[in-house]
């Protein structure tokens, strides 16, 4: 979907394995893409665009997640950030090393 010449971000996780981009970085690219569309989207449309652009494997994973009453974006963040342990808000407490988080 290239609207006004604006291409969506590359898929986050197109096939099984590890993404080359941390989810937090990818979601920032997605949010910027939605902003660049300059279109007022409702939550449902924004969610559909998110699921469409996230990639086939990430979509497969998304559809296996239990519904827990959070936004689709938050559900993906919870899953992928917990998996990689690369989320905003994670802080190192001395003297622990990042590998012990």
Task: Answer with the residue of higher pLDDT: 1 or 79.
Answer: 79
Long-range contacts of 14-23, Cβ-Cβ distance < 8 Å, separation of 24 or more: 14/55, 14/56, 14/57, 14/58, 15/55, 15/56, 15/57, 16/57, 17/57, 19/80, 22/84, 22/86, 23/76, 23/77, 23/80, 23/81, 23/84, 23/86
Q: If you average pLDDT over residues 5-34, what whole number do you get?
A: 89
Domain of 59 in residue numbering reads as 23-100
In a domain, 8, yes or no: no
With a cut of 90, say whether residue 57 has pLDDT above it: yes
Q: What is the pLDDT of residue 4?
A: 59
Confidence of residue 45 (pLDDT cuts 50, 70, 90): confident
Q: What is the pTM of this model?
A: 0.66
Whether 100 has a pLDDT exceeding 60, the answer reads: no
Asked if residue 90 belongs to a domain, the reply is yes
Q: Does 12 fall in a domain? A: no
């Amino acid at each position: 979907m290239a609207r006004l010449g604006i291409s969506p971000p590359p898929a986050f996780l197109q096939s099984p394995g590890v993404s080359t981009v941390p989810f937090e970085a990818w979601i920032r690219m997605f949010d910027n893409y939605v902003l660049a569309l300059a279109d007022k989207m409702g939550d449902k449309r924004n969610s559909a665009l998110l699921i469409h652009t996230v990639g086939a494997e990430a979509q497969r994973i998304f559809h296996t997640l239990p519904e827990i009453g959070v936004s689709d974006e938050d559900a993906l963040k919870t899953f992928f950030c917990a998996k990689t342990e690369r989320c905003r808000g994670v802080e190192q407490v001395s003297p622990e090393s990042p590998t012990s988080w």
